[in-house]
Structure 1
Amino acid sequence: MDGRFGKAGAVGGKLLFAGALGLLAFQMSGRTATEPAAAPSPPAAKAPAPIAQAAPPPAAAPVALPAAAGDDAFVVRRVLDLKAPLHHGEYAWDDAGVPQGPIVITIDLAAEMLSIFRDGYEIGAAPILYGADSKPTPLGTFPILQKDAHHVSNLYGAPMPYAMRLTNDGVFVHASEVSWDAATHGCIGVPKPFAQKLFAQARIGDKVIITKGRMMDVSGLRGPA
């Protein structure tokens, strides 16, 4: 289903960070760095110099987790290393050097973020539009049922470029004008240039996993694997 309208209760000016989905059993461990001991005091002072403790690293941006393990679980090898938050209407893409492999698309409604993984490597991320309270976007795992680069909604007569059908009752991922104060009739809207890249990567049967606020730490996953 397509259609854009104002989203009640939207948070103005909210900055979104790139997200990604990971294996439920995947665990990360943090390390606290220490600096070398300070130089010793003059011979008259016998007390040892204290060891200075480095400040803890900044918290990593959270990424989405699937609702359950099993078929929905996969190994995340890398997430995109973004230098700044993404605003609505922006996107990030970097598939240089990433091997061919299975495609998994993850969507977290709480973070308002879609990520695409190829062989476990995040290659793209973008803020999204999603269904308003009266037309909510469903949660769960959905295989892509249909692809149509020039789809037009049979309910609203609206163009839905680069549409990928998730459900038989009209929920798609498709290109849209993405702004923080808008919503859809249940579909997932992404910026058109990003939608075109997404459409080119995904195949019929590829999984799209939609969650709402299940997060994990991704410390250590940024950059090359």
Structure 2
Amino acid sequence: MAAKLRTALGVTLLLGAIGATAGGALMLIGAHPAAPAAPPLPVIRVTPTPSARPTPATIRPTPTPAATPAPEAMVVRHILTIDGPFTHGRWLWDESAAPKTGPIVITVDLDAQVLSIFRDGYEIGTAVVLYGADWKPTPLGALKITQKDADHVSNLYGAPMPYMLRLTNDGISIHGSDVQPGGATHGCIGVPTAFARKLFAAVKLGDRVIITNGKRLAMGAAIARR
């Protein structure tokens, strides 16, 4: 009996011990002890980069281009003296007072029926002319000599036009003609043939011909821009 009790007691004690252990385990499981606090994060100090001071831009003034001088005008420096009435068929050529070289300009005034050639402002030749009839007028304006042909024959009229100086693409030109009172052309400027020969020799391609109607040139008057 004692042995059984001891045995039972031993069992009881053992169970008690086990129970105590289990209780301890339960106690450990149910308590959930707090996790240790995480160490504080290190503080990183950012040193700001100093902003660059603005450098004032160097402003260079744009140079003002120099004004282009206006081309000097060719002016009348000398006019030939005409003795007696200047009528159809008359002409005059005299280079004695003029420079040997210089820009050439031819002027034609239809109202006066006169052509003049100037070298550097000095009149070296002049003649009475024929010009276009009312139904085929001579054009006005500043033109240039674009062709020279000493033995030209019109392909429109079949007429000889000696010492031809072409002014327009449609055939207007200065050429030798029989200059008689009451005569007219198909728009060309006709001059005495002997005068046309001298005119032909004195000019070159590109020389200017200024045709007006009622503009007379006096000493000192502007003829054209150089």
User: Is TM (by shorter chain) over 0.5?
Assistant: yes
SS at match of 2:123: strand
Work out whether 1:134 is the aligned partner of 2:135: yes
Inter-CA distance 205–71: structure 2 relative to 1 (3 Å threshold): farther
TM-score, normalised to structure 2's length? Answer: 0.64
Contact 2:108–2:211 (CA under 8 A) maintained in structure 1: yes
Q: How far apart in 1 are the matches of 2:82 and 2:219? A: 13
Alignment RMSD, CA only? 2.0
SS at match of 1:183: coil
- Look at both structures and tell me which one has the larger radius of gyration over its CA atoms: 2
Corresponding position of 1:95: 95
Inter-CA distance 217–96: structure 2 relative to 1 (3 Å threshold): closer
Name the structure where helix makes up a greater proportion of residues: 2
Deviations 1:93-126 (A, max 9, x none): 1001421111100000000000000111001110
Corresponding position of 2:192: 191
Corresponding position of 1:116: 117
Deviation at 1:85, TM superposition (A): 2.0
Corresponding position of 1:83: 83
Greater relative contact order, per chain length (Cα 8 Å cut-off, separation 6+): 1
Q: How far apart in 1 are the matches of 2:133 and 2:71? A: 29
Q: Specify every segment of 5 or more residues in structure 1 that has no aligned partner in the other structure, as ranges.
A: 1-69, 220-225
Inter-CA distance 138–217: structure 2 relative to 1 (3 Å threshold): same
Work out whether 1:172 is the aligned partner of 2:164: no
Q: How far apart in 2 are the matches of 1:214 and 1:71? A: 22
Inter-CA distance 200–216: structure 2 relative to 1 (3 Å threshold): closer
Contact 2:77–2:219 (CA under 8 A) maintained in structure 1: no
Q: Specify every segment of 5 or more residues in structure 2 that has no aligned partner in the other structure, as ranges.
A: 1-69, 221-226
SS at match of 1:74: strand
Deviation at 1:215, TM superposition (A): 2.8
SS at match of 2:74: coil
TM-score, normalised to structure 1's length? Answer: 0.64
Contact 2:76–2:218 (CA under 8 A) maintained in structure 1: no
Q: How far apart in 1 are the matches of 2:119 and 2:174? A: 18
